[in-house]
Amino acid sequence: MRILGIETSCDDTSAAVVDGREVLSSVVSSQDALHAVYGGVVPELAARRHLESIQAAIGLAMKRACADFDSLDAIAVTRGPGLVGSLLIGLSVAQGLGMRTGLPVYGVNHLEGHVLSPLIESELALPFLAMIVSGGHTAVYLVEDVGSYKEAASTRDDSAGEAFDKGAKMLGLGYPGGRLMDETARDGNRAAVVFPRGRVRAERFAFTFSGLKTSLWDYLNKQQEHASLEDICASFQEAIVDVLVSRAGELMTVCGVPRLAVAGGVSANSRLRGAVAEYGAANGCEIVFPPLRYCTDNAAMIAHAAALRMERGLPGDPLHAVSRLPLGPRLQAA
Ligand code: KG4
Ligand code: ZN
């Protein structure tokens, strides 16, 4: 099943060609530099840049895969969740190509792309838990099978990526701040400052990061003496990592599923990688981090998810853009 994937849900313009589980090409054009001056993604600018870049990204993906449209079986495109203006660019281009070539166009839930991304290059037995930690999402899903997902936990306010980015902004590190905080924290003392590990009352597994952000602001603005920048970063990062690892660990226990995949931009964090791996080794759990190029937003995971669904005869999503879109019902135990 040869599929051209198109992904424009946020600020990465991406096109890829897959043949079943094999990725033949993957092109990602990042808009980080465009949004850096504003300290965050500006939706109108993101949509406009997608429009400028998408044709070139598709052309390059097709060229690198040595593919022509006659050799394809379908076009897969992200239809949500994401920024509506950005999604509309991908959807319009996909439908235009579909009309021109006669290929079927298959709508994909962006979150399904993420949760199935561990299967692109790794073997992970079903069921498994997938923790998606990015700028747009922080959630854990029970992946029972392709097309069958339960939401075991999600955030009630900020995502983990937003917590990193907003914390980094308060500390004057720059944008996007997650990677810069990771680097600054590397030699810092994780116990120098005690930041809160947020919990949502009456929702055992839900994430909350807004209190952490406030607590950093209070620490910086209300205290006379401060630890070093390295120590503050290491302590702030530890609070995020601690919550992610402990919640994922609790869910593996409750679900009786000792397999965890971690994806999304925050999964690049060196301390998170180390802490999750340590947890897995200590508790006999299998841990998979997909290669970083498939952790952050990319069209290969969209085409791959479509290929797995089509192999099983599952239908595509409707082709209209939606900003919010659940992947499945809440897990009852959670
Ligand atoms: O998945 P992604 O590329 O885009 C979406 O948000 O969907 O994730 C971007 C997020 C940003 O918040 C960025 O600061 C964070 O991932 N990030 C990191 C690291 N690298 C990227 N956060 C912590 N440590 C990192 N090394
Ligand atoms: Zn994403």
CA triple 250-213-240, angle to 5 deg: 30
* Per-residue model confidence (pLDDT) at position 218: 97
Q: For residue 333, what pLDDT band results from cuts at 50, 70 and 90?
A: low
50: β partners:
none
Of 143-152, 235-244, 325-334, the range with the lowest mean pLDDT is 325-334
Inform me whether the pLDDT recorded for 230 exceeds 70: yes
- Go through the domains of the chain in sequence order and give each one's CATH number: 2-115+297-311 (3.30.420.40), 124-289 (3.30.420.40)
Q: State which ligand 1 atom lies nearest to the alpha carbon of 264.
A: 1
For residue range 178-205, what is the model confidence (pLDDT) as tens digits?
999 999 999 999 999 999 999 998 899 9
For residue range 96-114, what is the model confidence (pLDDT) as tens digits?
999 999 999 999 999 999 9
For residue 63, how far is its CA from the centre of ligand 1 (angstroms)?
A: 29
Q: Which two tokens stand for residue 306?
A: 């479509």
The answer to whether the CB of 296 is under 6 A from ligand 1 is yes
pTM above 0.75, yes or no: yes
For residue 267, how far is its CA from the centre of ligand 1 (angstroms)?
A: 8
Q: For residue 332, what pLDDT band results from cuts at 50, 70 and 90?
A: confident
* 3 state SS for the chain: CEEEEEECCCCEEEEEEEECCEEEEEEEEECHHHHHCCCCCCHHHHHHHHHHHHHHHHHHHHHHCCCCHHHCCEEEEEEECCCHHHHHHHHHHHHHHHHHHCCCEEEEEHHHHHHHCHHHHCCCCCCEEEEEECCCCEEEEEEEECCEEEEEEEECCCCHHHHHHHHHHHCCCCCCHHHHHHHHHCCCCCCCCCCCCCCECCECCCECCHHHHHHHHHHHHHCCCCCCHHHHHHHHHHHHHHHHHHHHHHHHHHHCCCEEEEECHHHHCHHHHHHHHHHHHHHCCEEECCCHHHHCCCHHHHHHHHHHHHHCCCCCECCCCCCCCCCCCECCCC
pLDDT-above-70 percentage for the chain: 99
For residue 101, how far is its CA from the centre of ligand 1 (angstroms)?
A: 36
* Side-chain-facing half-sphere of 248: CA atoms under 13 Å: 35
For residue range 47-85, what is the model confidence (pLDDT) as tens digits?
999 999 999 999 999 999 999 999 999 999 999 999 999
* Per-residue model confidence (pLDDT) at position 176: 84
Q: Which ligand is nearest to the CA of 236?
A: 1
Contact criterion met (CB below 8 Å) for 114 and 263: yes
Q: Supply the residue whose CA is at minimum distance from atom 8 of ligand 1.
A: 265
Average pLDDT estimate for 217-239? 97
Q: Supply the residue whose CA is at minimum distance from atom 13 of ligand 1.
A: 178
* Per-residue model confidence (pLDDT) at position 56: 98
The answer to whether the CB of 136 is under 6 A from ligand 1 is yes
Torsion of CA 162, 286, 255, 273, to 10 degrees: -20
Whole-number CA gyration radius for the chain:
20
Report the relative pairing of strands 22-30 and 12-19 from DSSP bridges: antiparallel
> CA nearest 155: which of 265, 29, 243, 268?
243
The answer to whether the CB of 161 is under 6 A from ligand 1 is yes
For residue 180, how far is its CA from the centre of ligand 2 (angstroms)?
A: 20
Inform me whether the pLDDT recorded for 34 exceeds 80: yes
Q: For residue 334, what pLDDT band results from cuts at 50, 70 and 90?
A: low
CA triple 157-192-201, angle to 5 deg: 30
The answer to whether the CB of 297 is under 6 A from ligand 1 is yes
Contact criterion met (CB below 8 Å) for 113 and 299: no
For residue 115, how far is its CA from the centre of ligand 2 (angstroms)?
A: 10
Instruction: Select from 86, 131, 162, 179 the residue to mutate for testing ligand 1; criterion: most ligand atoms less than 8 Å from CB.
Output: 179
Amino acid at 151: E
Q: State which ligand 1 atom lies nearest to the alpha carbon of 295.
A: 1
User: How many other C-beta atoms can be found within 10 angstroms of the C-beta atom of residue 47?
Assistant: 18
The answer to whether the CB of 118 is under 6 A from ligand 1 is no
For residue range 134-168, what is the model confidence (pLDDT) as tens digits?
999 999 999 999 999 999 999 999 999 999 999 99
Average pLDDT estimate for 272-293? 97
* Per-residue model confidence (pLDDT) at position 40: 85
The answer to whether the CB of 167 is under 6 A from ligand 1 is no
Average pLDDT estimate for 240-266? 97
Average pLDDT estimate for 295-304? 97
Q: What is the mean pLDDT of the chain?
A: 96
For residue 270, how far is its CA from the centre of ligand 1 (angstroms)?
A: 12
For residue 297, how far is its CA from the centre of ligand 2 (angstroms)?
A: 5
For residue 256, how far is its CA from the centre of ligand 1 (angstroms)?
A: 29
For residue range 35-50, what is the model confidence (pLDDT) as tens digits?
988 888 999 999 999 9
How buried is residue 21: exposed, middle or buried, by Cβ count under 10 Å (0-12/13-18/19+)?
middle
Instruction: Select from 180, 296, 298, 325 the residue to mutate for testing ligand 1; criterion: most ligand atoms less than 8 Å from CB.
Output: 296
The answer to whether the CB of 290 is under 6 A from ligand 1 is no
Which distant-in-sequence residues (6+ apart) come within 8 Å of 61 by Cβ?
Answer: 4, 15, 16, 17, 25, 26, 27, 299
The answer to whether the CB of 268 is under 6 A from ligand 1 is yes
Which distant-in-sequence residues (6+ apart) come within 8 Å of 31 by Cβ?
Answer: 11, 12, 13, 41, 45, 46, 49
